Amino acid sequence: MFTLYHHPFSPSSRFVRLMLREYGADYQERCFDPWERPGELLQLNPAGTVPILVENEGPAICGPMPIMEYLDETRGYAVADRRLMPDHPDARAECRRLVDWSLCKFDTEVVGHLVRERIYKQTMPKSAGGGAPDSAALRVARANIHHHLRYFSYLVASRRWIAGDRLSFADLALGAALSCADYLGEVPWANEENVKNWYARVKSRPSMRPLLSEKILGMPASVTYADLDF
């Protein structure tokens, strides 16, 4: 049994929830606000960040990439052809590059700003930086998202899934990141048919269901968020 320490709108945490469900792993959840850094969290992960995964009484596995490799090393062979890590080292490198792109580059340039300004800052106390969204940060994110979508579109135009011809961790990582932006209605789907079709396939996976029913108090999801036929 796993325990996952996470925040429902942290893209990296969503990525871990998707992986756990795709690999059929039982887990219980503990939610933390990433800006609070309570003692319990810092003891598990001195970096003070979520996601953190603990298997039974084992040590804390910290961060989305170490968790991804851990799940693949300990569960990958058991799920046979549903394994989410490609077999060839070249294809694995491509999968890891796009996981990193989705959770680091896309987060730094787009999703991190949106989530922080529009979700975290609504619940944060003023002393921790809470309050009204910074419109300059939102403007940057809204300009950057077009470049990223164009690149994702280029990738899925020549591949069935984002990192190749089979579903991989990279699809879950990008799906997790896009789902946060989509909740806020910040994804300009209209111009991006390829990405939209790819995301519709990711969204219809059973592992996505719990994420799509998630709600923030006082901030309803965009109309496209839970719609599988958006």
What is the contact surface with a copy of itself in residues (CB under 8 A)? Answer: 46-47, 58-59, 61-63, 65-67, 69-70, 73-74, 89-90, 92-94, 96-97, 100-101, 104-105, 151
- Minimum distance from CB of 112 to a copy of itself (Å)? 12
Minimum gap (Å) between residue 70 Cβ and a copy of itself: 5
**Of 50 and 211, which has the nearer Cβ to a copy of itself?**
50
Using the minimum distance from each CB to a copy of itself, give the nearer residue, 97 or 139. 97
- Quickly count: other Cβ atoms within 10 Å of residue 25's Cβ: 17
Closer to a copy of itself by Cβ: residue 77 or 135: 77
Q: How far is the CB of 219 from a copy of itself (least distance, A)?
A: 29
> What is the amino acid identity at position 51?
P
Q: Can you list the alpha helix ranges (DSSP code H) found in the chain? A: 11-22, 39-44, 64-75, 89-100, 106, 112-115, 121-123, 135-158, 169-183, 193-203, 209-212
Q: Based on CB atoms, which residue is closest to a copy of itself, 58 or 125?
A: 58
Q: How far is the CB of 145 from a copy of itself (least distance, A)?
A: 16
Query: 12 near 50, Cβ under 8 Å?
Result: yes
Closest CA to 53 of 33, 39, 69: 69
Contact 175, 206 (CB under 8 A): no
Q: Residue 65 CB, nearest distance to a copy of itself (Å)?
A: 6
Closest approach of a copy of itself to the CB of residue 17, in Å: 18
Residue 5's beta-bridge partner residues? Answer: 30, 52
Report d(CA 16, CA 98) in Å as an integer. 15
Report the DSSP beta bridge partners of residue 216.
219
Separation of alpha carbons 196 and 203, rounded Å: 10
For CA atoms 195, 198, 201, 205, the dihedral sign is negative
- Which C-beta is closer to a copy of itself: that of 62 or that of 115? 62
Q: Which residue's CB is nearer to a copy of itself, number 93 or number 157?
A: 93
